[in-house]
Amino acid sequence: MLSAGSRNFVLLMLVLGAGLFGYRQLAAGPAQYVLAVSWQPAFCETRPRLPECRSQTPSRFDASHFTLHGLWPQPRSKAYCGVSENDIRKDKKRRWHDLPWDRLDQTTWRRLQQVMPGTRSGLHKHEWVKHGTCYDGTDAGEYFSDSLHLMDALNASQVRKLFTARIGETLSGEQIRAAFDESFGPGAGDRVRVACKNDQGRRLIVELTIGLSGTISPGSKLSDLIAASSPTEPGCPSGVVDAVGLQ
């Protein structure tokens, strides 16, 4: 057992640590969710035949904003909750337009079409069947509304401003993580993984995955959800922020 003096010393170190690093970081645990966001122009370089890529324009939302790939309950094995084997087979064969779907309210659907251009390829059905069915037992409306709430916060941040200011240029992982720290608090960037793909001699930033923990709701703060999650591997060290237009 620790002596009274030792216990006081440990307590002092915890208090000092909380002051230096923030209590939320000390309380961080494994990610309960991963928010996956795409930089759509780079994604489309590798999938140019998709309808959402053929219809790109420099003035469209996804030319200058992050787009929603998905919100994934963790661990990764948590998927296809209550989904029939027939629908799982359809999903894995990318027959996404054949998957079942309960219509969203018009406001949510319009917003989702803007923030998730992959709806043109049925991505929303895939994300709901594989991941949304495991999202706290809610319906598709709540799942996508919560996802859009997170995307609004990210697209209003310094992270999005950094990307749009550097279109056509190279960004380092350190710069991206620093923008997350500036927007969502110290250590937020340590919860972000950068994914890149090579395309005709260029290394493009195609996706960011962000660890989250806590209850996601219209009133939750993205900064709190990030801080409550544990750090992750940094991923790609640097890459180009691609502009609209296929090369």
Backbone angles phi, psi at 18, to 5 degrees: -65, -35
For the chain, the C-alpha Rg in angstroms (whole number) is 20
- Span 206-225, average pLDDT: 97
Please give the structure tokens belonging to residue 233: 């591997």
- Span 3-30, average pLDDT: 43
pLDDT of residue 246: 79
Largest CA distance in the chain: 69
CA atoms within 13 A on the CB side of 169: 9
What is the rounded distance in angstroms from the CA atom of residue 91 to the CA atom of residue 80? 10
User: How many Å from the N-terminal Cα to the C-terminal Cα in the chain?
Assistant: 66
pLDDT of residue 24: 37
What 3-state DSSP class applies to 120?
Answer: helix
Percent of the chain with pLDDT over 90: 85
Q: What is the pTM of this model?
A: 0.88
pLDDT of residue 28: 66
